[in-house]
Chain A
Amino acid sequence: MKGRTFETYVRTVLEGGAREAQRSGSATIEAEHLLLAIAAGPENASRELLRSAGLDHETIRDALRREFEQSLRTVGVSVTDRSLLSPREAAVRPSRMGRSAKLVFERGMAAAHGKNDARPEHLLLGVLELRYGTVPRTLELAGVDTAALKERARRSLSGESA
């Protein structure tokens, strides 16, 4: 029963992630799309944990935009035509996960003891286990203490209050 609930949750996050990916013009579902989907997803521990770190769908989207601009600036590129910074929606909704999203699942599931033990917090842990790329840079830019958030997620999994 528990495993089944998690499966439903994963499906919801993947569907949400696919929508986010399409909106951002991406051909694949990436880790940042999963993070947005978790933040906008069903009310549960993962969403609460994000909220406790000051992250909701809107703040994450805003931080992603800033990370994009900042990464361009680090090599001296500044875009004056603001419209170029916002993506064009893709015509097709992606169904494939990109490398970063696959890493989220790999690392999240590695923290669970088998499929039946998996809970929404494991998926969030998978996101927080990313070391490089758009998501960790975005979280840093948003002022999130990733280590502390990970610790709260683990405590939530072990049944202690976060």
Chain B
Amino acid sequence: MTGVEVPASQDPTDQLAAVVALRRLADQLEDVAVERAMRAGWNWLDVAEALGVTRQAVHKKHAKRLIANGVELRRRRK
């Protein structure tokens, strides 16, 4: 990577704000990644396993948004 490396701040105010920002970034990345996976034909169980959460948790968090975005969801594997 080129460019200037920014030294990590040791200031607790900055670090706490970074925690908030990183959580948000992780949430936004999760939204993008789950949608990409489901569009590519993954099922809930595999996405859940990849994220280390239950199928119910991932479904509850993402199903409505994906349906609203017109993603075709696969039926649960028997």
Contact = CB atoms under 8 A, between A and B. Distances in A.
Interface of A: 25, 67-68, 71-79, 83-92, 132-134, 137
Interface SS of A by simple majority: loop
Contacts of A91: 64-65, 67-68
Interface string B1-32: 00001111101011111101110110111011
Q: Interface residues of B toward A: which range? A: 20 to 34
Contacts of A90: 65
A133 B31 CA distance: 23
Contact of B32 (A75, A83, A132): A83
A79 B25 contact: yes
A88 B32 contact: yes
Contacts of A133: 17, 20
9 contacts: A25-B31, A72-B21, A74-B9, A75-B14, A75-B22, A76-B8, A91-B65, A91-B67, A137-B17
Contact of B20 (A73, A85, A88, A134): A134
